[in-house]
Chains A and B, each alone.
Chain A
Amino acid sequence: MSENLRNRISGTVLLAVALVWIVLVYQTIAPSPGTEAGPRAFPLFFGYVLAVLSLLLLFQSFRTPALDLENETHDSATVLPGGLTAVAMTIGSFVVYGMLLEPFGFIPSTAFVVAAILLFVLRVRSVLVIAGMSIGLSLGCYLVFGKLLGTYLPPGNIITIYF
Chain B
Amino acid sequence: MDAFVNALPLVFEPSVLGAIGLGTIIGLIFGAIPGLTYTMALSLVLPLTFGAATMPAVALMVGTYIGGMTGGSVSAILIGVPGTPSAAATVLDGYPMRNAGKASLALGLAVISSTVGGLISLFIMVVSVDLVSRLAIKFGPAEIFALVVFGMSTICGLAEKSLMRGLIAGVIGLILMTVGLDEITGDQRLTFGTVTFQQGVNLVVAMIGLFAVPHIIQTFSIYRAGLQKLADPQDARIELPSLALMRRSLGLMMRSSLIGTVIGAIPGASGPIAAFIAYDHARRFSKDRSRFGKGVEEGVIAPETANNAVSGGTFIPLLSLGIPGDPATAVILSGLLIHGLFPGPMLFREHPIEIYGVYLTIVLAYIIILVVQLFGIRVFVKILLVPPHLLSVAVMVMCVIGSYAIRNSVFDVYTLAACGLMGYLLLRARIPVTPVVLGLVLGPTLETQYRTAIIMSEGNFDIFYTSLTALLFFALALLVIVLQLWGNMRAKAQAVRATEQEA
What is the interface of chain A, defined by CB distance below 8 A to chain B?
Answer: 3, 6, 9-10, 13-14, 21, 24-25, 28-30, 32, 35-43, 46-47, 49-50, 53-54, 56-57, 60, 67, 69-70, 72-73, 75, 77-83, 85-87, 89-91, 93-95, 97-99, 101-102, 106, 110, 113-114, 117-118, 121-123, 129, 133, 137-138, 141, 145, 149-154
Complex contacts, A24 vs chain B, CB 8 Å = 190
B420 contacts chain A at the CB level, 8 A cutoff: yes
Judging by beta carbons under 8 Å apart, are B429 and A86 in contact? no
Task: Please measure, in the bound complex, the distance between the C-alpha atom of A36 and the C-alpha atom of B40, giving whole angstroms.
Answer: 36
Task: Kindly identify which residue among A30, A41, A81 contacts B227, using a CB–CB cutoff of 8 Å.
Answer: A81
A15 to B312, CA, bound (A): 44
Contact indicator A78/B430 (Cβ below 8 Å):
yes
The reply to whether B413 and A70 form a contact with Cβ atoms under 8 Å apart is no
Query: With A57-B164, A70-B161, A121-B220 known to touch, is A98 a contact of B417 (CB < 8 Å)?
Result: yes
Alpha-carbon distance between A9 and B430 when the two chains are bound, in angstroms = 12
Contact flags B424-450 to A (C-beta < 8 A → 1, else 0): 100111111000000000000001001
A43 near B218: Cβ-Cβ < 8 Å:
no
Q: How far is the CA of A73 from the CA of B401 in the complex (A)?
A: 38
- Scan residues 426-480 of chain B and give those whose CB is less than 8 A from a CB of chain A: 427-432, 447, 450-451, 454-455, 459
Contact B213 A50 (CB under 8 A): no
Residues of B within 8 A of A13 (CB): 429
From A46, A54, A69, A90, give the contact of B213 (CB < 8 A).
A90
- Is the beta-carbon distance between B26 and A91 smaller than 8 angstroms? no
Which residue of A is nearest B191, CB measured?
Answer: A28
Q: List 23 A-B residue pairs with CB atoms under 8 Å apart, sorted by A's residue number.
A: A9-B429, A25-B190, A37-B455, A38-B185, A42-B174, A42-B447, A46-B174, A46-B175, A46-B178, A47-B175, A50-B171, A53-B167, A60-B164, A67-B499, A69-B499, A79-B427, A79-B430, A86-B217, A90-B216, A98-B417, A117-B396, A129-B390, A152-B408
CA distance A85 to B187 in the complex (A): 40
Q: Would B492 and A69 count as touching, CB distance under 8 A?
A: yes
Closest 7 pairs (CB-CB, A-B)? A82-B221, A98-B413, A94-B417, A37-B451, A37-B454, A39-B182, A10-B429
Q: Given the interface contacts A80-B221, A90-B220, A114-B397, does A67 sit within 8 Å of B496 by beta carbon?
A: yes
Residues of chain B from 227 to 273 with CB closer than 8 A to chain A in the complex = 227
Closest Cβ of chain A to B333, distance in Å, is 21
Interface of chain B, main secondary structure: helix
By a CB distance below 8 angstroms, the chain A residues around B178 are: 42-43, 46
Is B389 in contact with chain A by the CB < 8 A criterion?
Answer: yes
Decide if B168 is an interface residue (CB 8 Å cutoff): yes
CA A137 – CA B410 in complex, angstroms?
Answer: 20
Task: Give the distance to chain A from B216, nearest Cβ to Cβ, in Å.
Answer: 6
Beta-carbon contact of A141 and B224 below 8 Å: no
Cβ-defined partner of A95 (8 Å) among B29, B224, B414: B414
Any A CB within 8 A of the CB of B127:
no
- A86, B161: Cβ atoms under 8 Å? no
Contact of B220 among A39, A86, A137 (CB under 8 A): A86
Given A81-B221, A137-B397, answer yes or no on A28-B192 (Cβ-Cβ < 8 Å): yes
A29-B187 contact in complex given A53-B167, A152-B405, C-beta closer than 8 Å: yes
Contact B401 A75 (CB under 8 A): no
| Nearest A residue (CB) for B36 | A151
Q: Is B374 an interface residue (CB 8 A)?
A: no
Q: From A14, A41, A94, give the contact of B416 (CB < 8 A).
A: A94
Interface residues of B (CB under 8 A from A): 26, 29-30, 36, 40-41, 44, 96, 160-162, 164-165, 167-168, 171-172, 174-175, 178, 182, 184-185, 187-192, 213-214, 216-218, 220-225, 227, 389-390, 393-394, 396-398, 400-401, 404-405, 408, 410, 413-414, 416-417, 420-421, 424, 427-432, 447, 450-451, 454-455, 459, 492, 495-496, 499
Residue contact A82 to B185, C-beta cutoff 8 Å: no
Chain A: CB-nearest residue to B439: A46
Instruction: Tell me whether A87 and B424 are in contact in the complex, defined as CB-CB below 8 angstroms, given that A46-B175, A141-B398 are known contacts.
Output: yes
The answer to whether B427 and A39 touch across the interface, beta carbons within 8 angstroms, is no
Known: A53-B164, A57-B164, A67-B499. A6 touches B430 (CB 8 A): yes
Across the interface, B397 reaches (CB within 8 A) one of A67, A95, A110, A154, namely A110
Which one of B220, B447, B492 has the greatest number of beta carbons of chain A within 10 Å?
B220
Assess whether A150 is in contact with B171, with CB atoms less than 8 Å apart: no
Q: Which of A53, A75, A83, A89 has the most CB of B within 10 A?
A: A53
A56–B164 touching, CB < 8 Å:
yes
**Contacts of B44 on A, CB cut-off 8 Å?**
149-151
Establish whether residues A14 and B168, one from each chain, have CB atoms under 8 Å apart when the complex forms. Answer: yes
